[in-house]
Chain A
Amino acid sequence: KAGVTQTPRYLIKTRGQQVTLSCSPISGHRSVSWYQQTPGQGLQFLFEYFSETQRNKGNFPGRFSGRQFSNSRSEMNVSTLELGDSALYLCASSLDSAEEDTQYFGPGTRLTVL
Chain B
Amino acid sequence: AQSVTQLGSHVSVSEGALVLLRCNYSSSVPPYLFWYVQYPNQGLQLLLKYTSAATLVKGINGFEAEFKKSETSFHLTKPSAHMSDAAEYFCAVSDRVKLVFGAGTILRVKS
A102 touches B46 (CB 8 A): yes
A104 touches B46 (CB 8 A): yes
A99 touches B32 (CB 8 A): yes
Of the candidate stretches A40-48, A63-71, A74-82, the one touching chain B is: A40-48
- What range describes how many residues of A lie at the interface? 20 to 34
Of the candidate stretches B18-26, B73-81, B96-104, the one touching chain A is: B96-104
Closest-by-CB residue of A relative to B100 is A45
Closest-by-CB residue of B relative to A43 is B101
Q: Could you say which residues of chain B place their CB within 8 Å of the CB of A27?
A: none
The prevalent SS among residues of B at the interface is strand
Q: Could you say which residues of chain B place their CB within 8 Å of the CB of A6?
A: 43
- Residues 43-98 (chain B) with a chain A CB within 8 angstroms: 43-46, 49, 51, 90, 92, 94, 96-98
Taking the nearest CB of chain A, how far is it from the CB of B44, in angstroms? 4
- Residues 20-46 (chain B) with a chain A CB within 8 angstroms: 32, 34, 36, 41-46
A99 touches B98 (CB 8 A): no
Closest-by-CB residue of B relative to A47 is B98
Closest-by-CB residue of A relative to B92 is A43
The reply to whether the CB of A58 lies closer than 8 angstroms to some CB of chain B is: yes
Q: Could you say which residues of chain A place their CB within 8 Å of the CB of B49?
A: 102
A-B pairs with the 4 shortest C-beta distances?
A: A45-B98, A43-B101, A105-B44, A105-B43
Residues of A within 8 A of B (CB): 4, 6, 33, 35, 42-43, 45, 48, 56, 58, 90, 92, 97, 99-100, 102-108, 110
30 CB contacts below 8 A, A to B, read A4-B43, A6-B43, A33-B99, A35-B99, A42-B101, A42-B102, A42-B104, A43-B99, A45-B97, A45-B98, A45-B99, A45-B100, A56-B97, A56-B98, A58-B98, A90-B44, A92-B44, A97-B97, A99-B32, A99-B94, A99-B96, A100-B32, A100-B51, A102-B34, A102-B46, A102-B49, A104-B46, A105-B43, A105-B46, A106-B43
